[in-house]
Amino acid sequence: MTDVEREAIVNDESEPNRFSDNASKSLVCQLHSGFSERFLRWRRRYLPVGGGTRRGHGSVKLSGPLVSGAAYCVSSCSMIIMNKIVLSSYNFNAGVSLMLYQNLISCLVVALLKLSGVVSVERFNWKLIRVWMPVNVIFVGMLISGMYSLKYINVAMVTILKNATNIITAIGELYMFRKRQNNKVWAAMFMMIISAISGGITDLTFNAVGYTWQTANCVLTASYSLTLRRVMEKAKQSTKSGSLNEVSMVLLNNLLSLPFGIILIILLGEWRYVISTDVTQDAMFWVAATASGFLGLAISFTSMWFLHQTGPTTYSLVGSLNKVPISLSGLVLFDVPLSLPNLFSILFGLFAGVVFARAKMS
């Protein structure tokens, strides 16, 4: 989830009367809110809570961020590992088809959650779709380039090279939004550049095709963040309620990506490969592919849950720290040939990511 999406969530939640436009319901909510506040003030004054109860309440407040943070880290790490298994271990050479399958799963799950009343989704219209189309084109390119880079590059190097996205985003913010970064941020980004270059030079499994895909992925990911920020307000104005929550963005992105995926599969001839390859006859392959689809959706929901429990600062820092177990697990699980200089480059890149997150806080 990008900073823009997180800001959109916070902004959406702060808008008054977003659940109803009915004046009578609004009045009832205001009366109820006023009564609740007076009751709580009276309760704190005349019925002080005991120490045991306070401790119990504190443990509940503490467990919320811990559980949501753990869920976010596990789903994020598992998603990357599962995609690597599907693309490399099973040698599946149809990244667009995998993306289409994962996004279809996301659409079906969100639709079921909406029908059951678990989540609320904005009603889409053609005006919103036209506004969102540039974002979705970049979104599809971002997913496909990420798939192919992960097929050719080991997980640890993908994680380190993704740091370049922060650099491109910072430069884009400077020219598009006149947002300036402090010296600590630029120093951290310089460390990221050094780690990426040294990592590529010392990578024993270097693959030019994979590095090209990863470079494209960094550019597209940064473009997605910057473009999303530009169209967000216009997209909100295109909805009936004047807002666009995270769940709606997840469904909109995945739903609009389906026709793009089908067209690309036909143009690239992937459908012939999918029909003829033996790997699609393996039941465990479908288990792994389906799991990756559910994990992709889980990242969206757990990141939103974790952000609501903590805040953008903690979310950013934990996201940087989460690269450490992802990189180490990728090295161990896939038995990646590793030299000492390459290991040092990876660790230095992980350290640069943490420094970057801390610098953004200051």
Q: pTM value?
A: 0.75
Check residues 44 and 304 and name the one with the higher pLDDT.
Answer: 304
The token duo for 276 is: 């003829």
Q: Which amino acid is at 173?
A: E
**pLDDT score of 275 more than 60:** yes
- State residue 312's pLDDT score: 56
Is the residue at 218 inside a domain? yes
Please give the residue range of the domain that contains residue 172: 67-361
Angle at 155 between CA 308 and CA 326, to 5 degrees: 40
- State residue 315's pLDDT score: 61
Is the residue at 48 inside a domain? no
Q: Residue 61: which pLDDT band, with cuts at 50, 70 and 90?
A: low
| DSSP conformation class of 177 | S
Q: Rounded to an integer, what distance in angstroms lies between the CA atom of residue 33 and that of residue 269?
A: 59
Q: Rounded to an integer, what distance in angstroms lies between the CA atom of residue 69 and that of residue 67?
A: 5
| DSSP H/E element including 179 | none
Exposure string of 39-76, with b = 16+ CB inside 10 Å and e = fewer, is eeeeeeeeeeeeeeeeeeeeeeeeeebeebbebbbebb
Q: Rounded to an integer, what distance in angstroms lies between the CA atom of residue 319 and that of residue 2?
A: 11
Q: Rounded to an integer, what distance in angstroms lies between the CA atom of residue 6 and that of residue 33?
A: 27
* Count of domains observed in the chain: 1
Range among 52-61, 70-79, 133-142, 325-334 with highest mean pLDDT value = 133-142
Radius of gyration of the chain (CA): 23
* Closest to 86 (Cα-Cα) out of 273, 284, 218, 258: 284
Is the residue at 169 inside a domain? yes
| DSSP conformation class of 60 | H
Contacts of 221 (CB under 8 A, 6+ apart): 142, 146, 162, 165
pLDDT (average), residues 102-117 = 93
User: Dmax over Cα atoms in the chain, in whole Å?
Assistant: 75
**pLDDT score of 360 more than 90:** no
- State residue 100's pLDDT score: 95
- State residue 185's pLDDT score: 84
Is the residue at 171 inside a domain? yes
| DSSP conformation class of 122 | P
Is the residue at 311 inside a domain? yes
Q: Rounded to an integer, what distance in angstroms lies between the CA atom of residue 270 and that of residue 176?
A: 37
Is the residue at 179 inside a domain? yes
Is the residue at 320 inside a domain? yes
Is the residue at 234 inside a domain? yes
In which residue are the tokens 């807002």 written?
243
User: How many angstroms separate the first and last alpha carbons of the chain?
Assistant: 21
| DSSP H/E element including 174 | helix 164-176
| 8 A C-beta contact, residue 121 and residue 110 | yes
| 8 A C-beta contact, residue 153 and residue 276 | no
The token duo for 273 is: 């490969």
**pLDDT score of 215 more than 90:** yes
| 8 A C-beta contact, residue 142 and residue 224 | yes
